Amino acid sequence: NTDECAADLDTCTERQRCENTVGSFVCRRILGCGTGYSMVEETQTCRDIDECALGTHNCPNGYECLNIEGSFRCRQPACQRGTRFSGATGRCEPINCPRGREADSLGMCVDIDECKQSGVCLSTERCINTYGSYRCIRDTSCPVGHQVNPLTKACEDIDECTRGVHTCESDQECVNTAGSFGCTCGAGYRRDSQGNCEDINECSYGNICPYNGVCENTPGSYKCNCNAGTEQKGSSCVDIDECKDRNRCEHSCVNVVGSYECTCRPGYKLNPDKRTCSDIDECQSYSLRGRVCGGACINTPGSYMCTCPNGWRTLGGGRSCQDIDECAEGTYRCTAPESICFNTRGSYKCPQVTCPPGFVRTPMGSRRNSVRCKRTSFTCQRGDVECLTAPISLSYNFLSFPSNIKIPTDLFAMSGPLTSQKQFAWDLKVIDARPLKSGVMAVNRGYFDLKVENSAQAVVSLNYRIQGPQDVELELTMQITDLRSRYTGTAVSKIFLYVTGDSVV
């Protein structure tokens, strides 16, 4: 794999850096695109972000968003005569001028000259126009805010509120006073420096709502909105027990403050929808951690079960399998003459051990894996070839191991008397190899190695794994020559290998 970046074989510009990939490279822009632009991954170029189309602009309500290169602009819509754009509603609203004012062609509230109208003041008064109102001045002198009673000719207070000659705004309440009047704001409002009523933002005063609610200011008041998962009871927000809905979770529901959680029974897992449960396949999920079972793992709803093959006994709830020694437990059936019972992994064999004439069979050893044919006499008559060529020692040895045995491994060792007066010669043959299943390859001599560690000892080792099930018979011959008498004798060890399938834990 060539690193085009290190070899300077890339086509990146000065404003790009080269990043090597498998079989190629990519050019990455070094500097960012800046505000209002986004990077196109394929071309590594900057493209203008249309904030208007994406809805990421911050234009006020009702304003028109105009996209420009790298940014956007907000344009206030044009309104018809008699209307004016309202930032509160985002629409062109009719112009409601305060009392004593009217809208002109520019949409501005201008003063009305009430004195041009007839009957505004009493006959004993003189009309004086003021901004947004007017004043009636009596011809006789009365205190400000008073007028002459035509009948009594006395000065009396003018109730500007009743007469409607006050200058209070439409959202203000007129309160008559001696010689004047006052303008007060309704509940939830206060007068600003210009004398207008403005809404009081109660939410700005701090913890006016419960800890699990959010304060929302409203015209002249406020309201508390409870957080998700809670509901309002009186002036408090209390948790909603969603678990009362029995269909909310498939298995179990746990109520928590402001929400709920679904849980599953042991052996199940919560699905991405956070409501339903699905069975955990322990056989598959735990396989990466090692073998779940000694034998076969069978998934069941919410759990799993372990089974062992025939010839094996379950231990630890099936987590391990123990070979049943049919020979030791006496459950075998070996009916052929001269047959013995030899335990194998998951079963047993009944090999026949027939000693040649002149030999007697000795009992099996404590490990029950070998039988020796002992020669009854070493005296031969002249010309008795069979007697003269018979081995001085003959043993039958039995081994059982799985196909996945560790390689290399020593299988069998044989030794003679270590003395300088004797000479040894060794030979190993494969007498028989019988696969017990189609497709299993029979072994040959190359599978085994004969290591002579010293002149009087040899070890048979396994070079390659043997496919099972397969029965193999080996014959190891040790030829002994006495250097003084020139007598030559042989010792033969027959080695029977019973290879099973892969190991069961």
DSSP string computed for 240-268: --GGGSTTS-SSEEEEETTEEEEE--TTE
The phi-psi region of residue 23 (left if phi > 0; otherwise alpha if psi is between -120 and 50; otherwise beta) is left
Q: What pTM, to 2 d.p., does this model score?
A: 0.47
Alpha helices (H) along 120-181: 160-163
CA distances from 14 to 38, 80, 433 (A): 20, 56, 72
> What per-residue confidence (pLDDT) applies to 375?
83
116 CB-near residues (< 8 Å, 6+ apart) = none
CA distance 291 to 307: 13
Secondary structure of residue 434 in the 3-state scheme? strand
C-alpha torsion angle, residues 277, 283, 285, 289 (rounded to 10): 150
Class of domain 203-239: mainly beta
Beta-carbon count within 10 A of 360 CB? 10
Q: What is the C-alpha to C-alpha distance for residues 109 and 100, in angstroms, rounded to an integer?
A: 9
Residue 121: predicted pLDDT: 84
CA distances 190 to 99, 104, 187, Å, are: 20, 29, 8
CATH T-level fold of 326-500? Immunoglobulin-like (2.60.40)
| Tens digit of pLDDT at every position of the chain (505 positions) | 678 888 888 888 888 888 888 888 888 887 878 888 888 877 778 888 898 999 888 998 888 999 998 899 999 888 887 788 888 888 888 888 888 888 876 778 888 888 888 888 876 677 889 988 888 876 667 788 888 777 777 788 999 999 888 888 888 899 999 889 988 998 889 888 888 889 999 898 888 888 888 999 998 899 999 988 888 888 888 888 889 888 889 999 999 888 899 999 999 999 999 999 999 998 888 777 767 787 888 899 999 888 888 888 888 777 788 889 888 888 889 988 888 899 898 899 999 888 888 888 887 766 678 888 888 887 777 777 777 777 888 899 999 999 888 999 999 999 887 776 788 889 999 999 999 989 999 999 999 999 987 778 899 999 999 998 999 999 999 988 877 766 677 889 999 999 987 765 5
Class of domain 242-279: mainly beta
Alpha-carbon torsion (372, 373, 374, 379), positive or negative: negative
Instruction: Delimit the domains of the chain by residue range.
Output: 95-197, 203-239, 242-279, 282-323, 326-500
HSE-up of 33 (CA within 13 Å, CB side)?
Answer: 18
- The CATH number of the structural domain formed by 282-323 is 2.10.25
Same fold, 242-279 and 326-500: no
Q: What is the pLDDT of residue 399?
A: 92
Quote the CA–CA distance of 220 and 199 in Å, as a whole number: 6
Residue 268: the pLDDT is 95
What's the sign of the alpha-carbon dihedral 253, 256, 260, 265? negative
The whole-angstrom separation of Cα 291 and Cα 361 is: 44
